[in-house]
Amino acid sequence: MAMPDGWLTQLPAPAGTLEPVQRRGRLALAEQGFPNRKQESWRLTDLTRLEALFELSLSDQRNLPSPADSLPSVPEQVLRLVIDGSQDPLQGVTLPAGISQLEGAELQQALGHTLSCCRCASDWPVELNQGVSQQILALRIRGNVPPVELVMLAANARLVPTRVLLLVEEKAELELLQVVSAQGQAAHSHLIEIHLGQESKVNHGLLALGDGQEALLANLAVEQESRSHYSLVSVTQGWSFGRLEPSVVQVDGLASTSIHGLSVTAADEQFAVHTAMRFEGPEGTLDQVQKTIAADRSHSIFNGAIQVPRPAQRTNASQLSRNLLLSGRARVDAKPELEIVADDVRCTHGATVTQLQEDQLFYLRSRGITQSSAAALLLRGYCKEVLDRLPLDASKRWLGGSLQVGGVTS
């Protein structure tokens, strides 16, 4: 299927730092065409919702009011950068010691390197972002730096493309919270590349919140050198249509990766999480838990791919998909994919689909707790494992410590 008629030709002419990337991305989109359900990664996707993104405006937002003024307060010593399409996120900002901007030849050399390492550079959502992004936030991290909060905003029925590149040098440490927020039937196309040097640590939280009528396409590409540690905690809620795709590669082994996610859907929303983990050296570890709550008529999708080629001996990987259905009309599709060639490994995976347990509800109600309060307590316990892992007290500051799930406050 071809791209929507005339959409590519109506885009602004490529310009600025990302001009070569824009040209390559648009050429790739024209060659690839539009995704179709014969492609395995799109087989379960409602493509009519994806097509709707091309009806949104990509026009400059500089003359539009920004919702940035209504953001929760930021903790002391935290560097907050707001990306909303209205201005340079570094304008008027003094970067703290250890954080510097990547520019010129340095930027061009690093741009796309991690995407290639993760083998996702030609994925359709990545090419879409590369074709339309006109701005990039590119930072180098040295040493132990203050925490960083990146807030990405979209509103007014616009498609907002955002791109971030982080080079985390050897032995550096970074606590990073990304908050992606949308309202007014807007959409996000987001792409982030993170390179972790040897013995570096990144604690990465992603909180993506829509109002129920918005769309999200988010791709994360992470490259880990030896003895590095990368932790990702993602929480998504309120997207009419969404797709989150973290891709992680341990290039030399001897690294550790932790991925914990919570995806909440309600009404007739559809949200998909596609993770890809590849070990290219020995003695790497993975601890992954993906949780889902699906209410009403919503559809949640999880696909978790793990690749362990022959050089990745003594890999220790664990993946668990836990899914909670709150309605008989809700739907969950969970598919683990393990490709193991190395013969000295320890890899486990599992997937469960359950409902709220009647015996637990009965126990709580027998203690005088109402049906709705009992359900809220059980949901809170289910979500807490992931919410409490978000950095920078994000659950309390951005969610008030609770989630609205199918009309129930957890």
Residue-by-residue pLDDT tens, the chain, 410 positions = 667 767 888 888 888 889 999 999 999 999 998 999 999 999 999 999 999 999 888 865 544 445 556 789 998 999 999 998 778 899 989 999 999 999 999 999 999 999 999 999 999 999 999 999 989 999 999 999 999 999 999 988 999 999 999 999 999 999 999 999 999 999 999 999 999 999 999 999 999 999 999 999 999 999 999 999 999 999 999 999 999 999 999 999 999 999 999 999 999 999 999 999 999 999 999 999 999 999 999 999 999 999 999 999 999 999 999 999 888 899 999 998 999 999 999 998 888 878 765 555 544 455 556 666 666 777 788 888 999 999 999 999 998 866 666 555 55
CB 375 within 8 A of CB 361: yes
CA 253 to chain centre: 24
CB 303 within 8 A of CB 41: yes
Q: What pLDDT, on a 0 to 100 scale, did the predictor assign at position 323? A: 93
Angle between helices 19-32 and 124-132 (to 10 degrees): 140
Q: What pLDDT, on a 0 to 100 scale, did the predictor assign at position 110? A: 94
Kindly list the distances between the CA atom of residue 352 and the CA atoms of 94, 305, 349, in Å, as whole numbers in the listed order.
48, 17, 11
Q: Does any domain span residue 296?
A: yes
Q: What pLDDT, on a 0 to 100 scale, did the predictor assign at position 363? A: 42
Q: Does any domain span residue 287?
A: yes
Q: Does any domain span residue 401?
A: no
Kindly list the distances between the CA atom of residue 275 and the CA atoms of 83, 100, 306, in Å, as whole numbers in the listed order.
25, 30, 8
Sequence-separated (6 or more) residues with CB below 8 Å from residue 222: 114, 118, 193, 194, 196, 230, 232, 246, 247, 248, 249
pTM of the model: 0.93
Q: How far apart are the C-alpha atoms of 350 and 319, rounded to whole Å?
A: 7
CA 229 to chain centre: 18
Q: What pLDDT, on a 0 to 100 scale, did the predictor assign at position 233? A: 98
Q: What pLDDT, on a 0 to 100 scale, did the predictor assign at position 58? A: 81
- Which residues share a beta bridge with 166? 139, 194
Q: Does any domain span residue 382?
A: no
- 3-class secondary-structure state, position 115: helix
Q: Does any domain span residue 56?
A: yes
CB 231 within 8 A of CB 200: no
Q: How far apart are the C-alpha atoms of 260 and 231, rounded to whole Å?
A: 8
The domain total for the chain is 1
Q: What pLDDT, on a 0 to 100 scale, did the predictor assign at position 349? A: 86
Q: Does any domain span residue 299?
A: yes
Q: What pLDDT, on a 0 to 100 scale, did the predictor assign at position 408? A: 53
Q: Does any domain span residue 243?
A: yes
Q: Does any domain span residue 387?
A: no
Q: How far apart are the C-alpha atoms of 271 and 215, rounded to whole Å?
A: 9
Structure token digits, residue 345:
């490994």
Domain of 183 in residue numbering reads as: 21-356
Find the radius of gyration of the CA atoms of the chain.
Answer: 21
Angle between helices 371-387 and 358-366 (to 10 degrees): 120
Sequence-separated (6 or more) residues with CB below 8 Å from residue 317: 277, 279, 284, 285, 286, 288, 306, 308, 345, 346, 347, 348
